[in-house]
Each structure stands twice: as structure tokens, then as C-alpha cells.
Structure 1
Amino acid sequence: MDLTHIHLMITHFPIFGTLIGSAFLAYGIFSKQDAIKQASFVLIILIALATVPVLISGSGAADAFAPFVGELDRQIIKEHKELAEKTLWLSALMGGLSLASFITLLKKNNLAYALSITTLLITLITFGAFSKVGNLGGQIRHTEIRHMPQTDTNQTGDHNESANDQHESAH
């Protein structure tokens, strides 16, 4: 098993983990159940920590995959990697806030509620960032989800006459 296989196996943990952690945290906050909030904070911390091996294995996967891709794939890989690196910092913030929230909740600190809400918001933002990273990663091998430019066609599949006219007048 190489880094590519490892990356493909663990890459969905941060995406689904932040979604599940956010849902449980929101439930814990609004139902005022400290045990659920605590469990959510622990899950979110673990997801933040799991982001590191996902990023490391992704770098190894990109290196192993590089000889087999075209220029469009290289561009998508570059965008995927750059966003993943930025999202790692957001994940670290999410994990740090979760730890702080966990501690303030245990100490019954007056900041616990505000910090819990802040953690929930950052976790939701991080989920969005992870989702975008995952979508870019999926586009590397799943060309059917790439956003390709659309050509203007009529029902017979021929190009729009005005587009053809513009093309002919250019020559």
C-alpha cells in the first residue's frame, strides 16, 4: 500500500467528520446538553488532527501520480494542493477552538457558550473548505464532474450560426 492508497482511504474523514461534528455540536448547544457538546469537541479535535496525515499522504499521492497526468490535471492538482494547505490552517483553528471550548465547558466558564457558538461557525466554514478541497480532488480522476466550458449548440448539435459567422469573419 502506498501513499496514494492511504490518501484515497482517509481523505473523506475531514469532510464527513466536520459535518457530523457540526451537527452534533449544534444539537448539543441548542439542547443545552454538555455531554454532547464535549463529545462533539473531542470529535472535532480528532478530525483536525486527522487532517495532517491526509495532507501528507496527498503530497505523496501527487508525486506518484505526476508522470501520468496531462496539463489540465496538473492545474487541478495544483489548485487542490494549494487549497488543502490553506484549509489545514483553518482546520488547526477549528481544533484549537474545540480544545478551548472543551476546557471552558469543563470549568463552567462564562465564555463557554460564546466559544461553543464560535467553534460551531468555524467548523461549518471548515466543512465548506474541506468540501471544496474534496471536489477539486475528485476532479483529478473523475472528469465527469469537471466544469468544462459549454458550447452553444442548437437541437441538432450544430454550433450556433452566429458563432460560426463570427468564426468565418475572423478568417
Structure 2
Amino acid sequence: MNSVQMHLMLTHVPIILSITGLVMFIVALLIKNTTLTKTSYIIIVIAGVASLPVFFTGEGTEEAIERMPGVSEAIIEKHEEIAKLAMASIVAAGILALAALLSFQKTMVARVLKVVVLLLAIASSSLMAQTAHLGGQIRHTEIRNAAGGRDAQGLGKQQQDQDDD
């Protein structure tokens, strides 16, 4: 299995887990359920770990597809930029979620960790969704051009054709 196959196979895991962990965490906080809180922490930790192989197989995937017809280098670069932020934020959320799990008591540290994990989970879920959207645009021109014939960079079809030459 090569890096492209690994990237495509694993790419949805951190996205789904980060969003699932966030939703579960919010529900856990609202209903004040410690078991659900701990479970959401575990999911966020797994999302952070799962993001690493996805991110590190991205470069090989880029090299394999960057010269294919219809592939926009500008979208690949934007996808890569957002992916770096998404990976960093979910890894940070995962590390702090692990710390919160290990210090799961009613202390000031646990409360602060809870708030910080929540904020990082919101940020990372948003960044993961944006990363996924941009990643889809790399090969799926039907979503790239969905907004009035403009791609993520605001380029129209004519400009894209010029860029591809």
C-alpha cells in the first residue's frame, strides 16, 4: 500500500472522530455526565493520533497527483496549509484531553483543561471540515465550481484553465 492509498483510506478518520468527540463533549458538559466526558476525551485523543499518518502521507499524495489534468496546485497548497493547522489543533486537543483524563478530578486544573479542550475541539473540528472540503476540491471539480463557477481561491473557470497550462 502506497502513501496515496494510506492518505485516502485514513483521511476521514480524524475528521469524523474530531466532530464526534466535540459533539459528545458538548452533550456530556450539558448533561454533566462524567462517563460521557471521559469517552469524548478518549475519542479526541484517538482523533489526534489518527491525524498524524494522514498528515504525513499528504506530501506523497501531492507528488503523485499534482501534475494530473484538472488538479489545481493552488487548492493543494491551501489544503496543505489548513491541514497543518487542523493537525496541530487536534493533536493539541488530544494531548490536553489525555491530561484531563489523567487528572480527572474536580480541581481547578481539570476545569481549565475542560475549557481549553472544548475550545481546541471546536477549532480543530472547524479546521478539519475546511481541510476536508479543500481536499475534496482537489479532484472533484463539481464541488470546486459549485459557488458560481469559482473555486476556493476565487478563480473562475477561465483562470483555472490558464493556471493548468
Report the counterpart of residue 118 of structure 1 in structure 2: 116
Equivalent residue for 1:145, pick from 143, 146, 151: 143
Q: Percent identity?
A: 30
1:113 deviates by 3.0
Is the radius of gyration larger for structure 1 or structure 2?
A: 1
Q: Which runs of 5+ in 1 are unaligned?
A: 152-171
Q: Is the 8 A contact 2:24 2:36 kept in 1?
A: yes
Q: Given the alignment of the two structures, is residue 96 of structure 1 paired with residue 134 of structure 2, yes or no?
A: no
| TM-score, reference length from structure 1 | 0.78
For residues 17-72 of structure 1, what are the alpha-carbon distances to aligned partners after superposition, in whole Å with 9 as ceiling and x for unaligned?
Answer: 111101111121121211111111111011001111001111111111123245x6
Q: Given the alignment of the two structures, is residue 76 of structure 1 paired with residue 75 of structure 2, yes or no?
A: yes
Q: Is the 8 A contact 1:29 1:116 kept in 2?
A: no
Q: Structure 1 CA distance, aligned partners of 2:106 and 2:35?
A: 13
Deviates more, 1:80-89 or 1:113-122: 113-122
1:13 deviates by 1.1
Correspondences of 1:10-159 after superposition (within 5 Å)? 10-69=10-69, 73-105=72-104, 107-147=105-145, 150=148
Indicate how the Cα distance of structure 1 residues 149 and 109 shifts in structure 2: closer, same or farther if over 3 A, else same: closer
Give the paired residue count.
149
Indicate the RMSD between aligned Cα atoms, in angstroms: 1.9
Report the counterpart of residue 161 of structure 2 in structure 1: none
1:100 deviates by 2.2
Q: Is the 8 A contact 1:77 1:140 kept in 2?
A: yes
Flag as ranges the 4+ runs of structure 1 deviating above 6 A. none
Q: Structure 1 CA distance, aligned partners of 2:37 and 2:128?
A: 22
Indicate how the Cα distance of structure 1 residues 108 and 148 shifts in structure 2: closer, same or farther if over 3 A, else same: closer
Q: Structure 2 CA distance, aligned partners of 1:149 and 1:11?
A: 24
Q: Which runs of 5+ in 2 are unaligned?
A: 150-165
Report the counterpart of residue 158 of structure 1 in structure 2: none
Report the counterpart of residue 168 of structure 1 in structure 2: none
